[in-house]
Structure 1
């Protein structure tokens, strides 16, 4: 009895290895099959899905237009997808879309004790994967590292059955990062402050926020890396005392990067800061300063801004 060519091909094609289990913050999640109706919250999480070619597995996204704008690159990637909620989604918004998967994070679409959490969505048939950077809100975590972003991509690859694609992507990012930082001398790191927003008190990146890892990769040190938080509000006094040599401006929202720089340069309280005196600023777009594929591009901008490369 002859075996057809199609049968041979099917026999030689490895089956997707489900069920799979991944770590999500302090939980393990098991998937019996790859999700087919996913939703991602925030621009950086959406871009992780796009980088893995998963837009055809998505039914929409949330949490973008209420705070940020999509650049041309992202608009093209999600042109066929609806924005289901301009800010954080409610359970009703998610249920109306009938998803089977929600990719979000703590303060990236979910609030501790809020109505949308992995625990509230699980009984509704929606599995949730949490952004690794945000895990500090629900348990202990090591300080931010580039591995946080890599792990998210690799876990998404496992969840959606595109593990090889994810591994190839991450290895490419690692190789590019090594190339960008090859000439960086980290023995005398520059003092760097991250200015996200706020006039009376600045909102900035602490030990667990990805800019700390980006800055370190580029040969700097976040002057707030002893802040036992992810993103948080601090006083201006310690910023002045620690005297950053470079200020990283996060560009998004109603107040532009240019306006933030003007605020720093016209306030007498900041006149003695080295970064202000020497006009040393590096502007990162929101999608570059939060975990996602553009973190590599962000390091490249930081290296150029720190060392003039």
Structure 2
């Protein structure tokens, strides 16, 4: 990718009654310490001469991740977020940022290009599909608006290869891009400490058999043995009952789900969206328990609503591991 275009101009107007003084040669802005920096993303090389100052974010986990790094003041435009409850303190920041799209997708091409962004962060390539009327990554690059995709979710194959280490890599890369590497390393250390604590607490305990689903009577929208949700289950001391199913978010027959005999269920939660096409988490749980009616999970009505935003690349999926572990092994967190 070409270097980030930096718009720097200085106009000095001098008014006096005498003849104007000779103008000095134009001064170029002094380079910032630690720059330029280069990172790799989606098979592209992104080079930044200075920290971005006019940032647009896509689906909410990208915004949350920048908030976690203390970079909310750099964001000048965001998409709409109405799928999950906000993390503590985030809605106040969210409300102050202009909304450029009333969906989770980026706005159409003309609106997107008019933002004049010097950096764009998202975690889905669908927002840059020309067939949908969106500005492409190449068009935005040419306009001086380089795109960074969280989690390396650059293709269906790369979605399946995702690991939670990719989220740490994103935090480290964003720290470099914005010139806040110390801040990023501190956050990484804190999050790694939380994951290490979970690992220590669940170590040696019998894994709980977990079904992760987004509902459906058949086929069922469920999570197979690849991707974010599968890894969160494993790190939290669970065993994904669909671990042998290829894919991340995929369709599974009701018969296979019924035979999986889960001991606990994770439900993808769209807490603020309701309607015929978006049933509540309790409704989806009831639907799931009807399918696995002879399972331990159904007998105990044991389920946890997991914010759907935590099931996409971003800061929140690291936090969700602790929540899932507490649900699966409550006794491990009594002290």
TM-score range, shorter chain: 0.7 to 0.9
Q: How do 1:74-85 residues align onto structure 2 when only pairs under 5 Å count?
A: 74-85=90-101
Local SS of the residue matching 2:76:
strand
Conserved? CA contact 2:217–2:254, under 8 Å: no
What is aligned with 2:282?
Answer: 258
Q: Deviations over 1:45-81 (max 9, x none)?
A: 110010111111111111424x456466321122310
What is aligned with 1:43?
Answer: 60
Could you list the structure 1 runs, at least 4 aligned residues long, displaced by more than 4 angstroms after superposition. 67-72, 110-114, 139-142
RMSD of the alignment, in Å? 2.6
What is aligned with 2:170?
Answer: 152
Q: Deviations over 1:216-270 (max 9, x none)?
A: 11111223334443323333222222222221112103222111112223x3x43
Residues 49 and 279 of structure 1, relative CA distance in 2, 3 Å threshold: same
Q: Distance in 1 between matches of 2:131 and 2:246?
A: 21
TM-score, L = length of structure 2: 0.78
**Pairing partner for 1:86 from 75, 92, 102:** 102
Structure 1 window deviating more from structure 2 (199-208 vs 273-282): it is: 199-208
**Pairing partner for 1:131 from 147, 150, 159:** 150
Q: Distance in 2 between matches of 1:229 and 1:16?
A: 44
Q: Distance in 2 between matches of 1:111 and 1:212?
A: 28
Offset of residue 173 of structure 1: 0.5
Q: Deviations over 1:166-198 (max 9, x none)?
A: 111011100122123312136743221211243
The unaligned stretches of length 5 or more in structure 1 are 1-13
What is aligned with 2:259?
Answer: 241
Q: Do residues 285 (structure 1) and 307 (structure 2) align?
A: yes
Q: Distance in 2 between matches of 1:172 and 1:132?
A: 19
Local SS of the residue matching 2:201:
coil
- Greater Cα radius of gyration, structure 1 or 2: 2
Conserved? CA contact 1:104–1:110, under 8 Å: no
What is aligned with 2:327?
Answer: 305
**Pairing partner for 1:169 from 187, 191, 204:** 187
TM-score, L = length of structure 1: 0.84
**Pairing partner for 1:32 from 31, 49, 63:** 49
